[in-house]
Amino acid sequence: MLVAVGGIGREAVLRLLDPQLVVSNTMHWVAAVGLAINAGAACLLHAGRREASTSAACRTTSACNRCNAIHPS
């Protein structure tokens, strides 16, 4: 881990001392793909959160209207 951090730090200092031209078209496509992946992951996690809260509600009530099941108290 320290080797990776050192390598990234070294590269950052070298780029600060000698800036390189940025290929903006590639940068925009990579950013768009990353945004789409993060948005999809957020949607999946949010959907899982809703299911988890529903099952928790079922476990805490003796008769659950949402899942039509009767749970022992």
Whole-model pTM: value is 0.45
Q: How many whole angstroms separate alpha carbon 65 and alpha carbon 71?
A: 11
User: Rounded CA gap, 73 and 65, in Å?
Assistant: 15
pLDDT value at residue 55: 55
Domain-wise residue ranges, the chain? 48-73
Q: pLDDT confidence of 65, banded at 50, 70, 90?
A: low
DSSP string, 3-63: HHHHHHHHHHHHHHHS-----HHHHHHHHHHHHHHHHHHHHHHHHHHHHHHHHHHHHHSSE
More confident call, 6 vs 49 = 6
- Cα 56 to Cα 52: distance, rounded to the nearest angstrom: 6
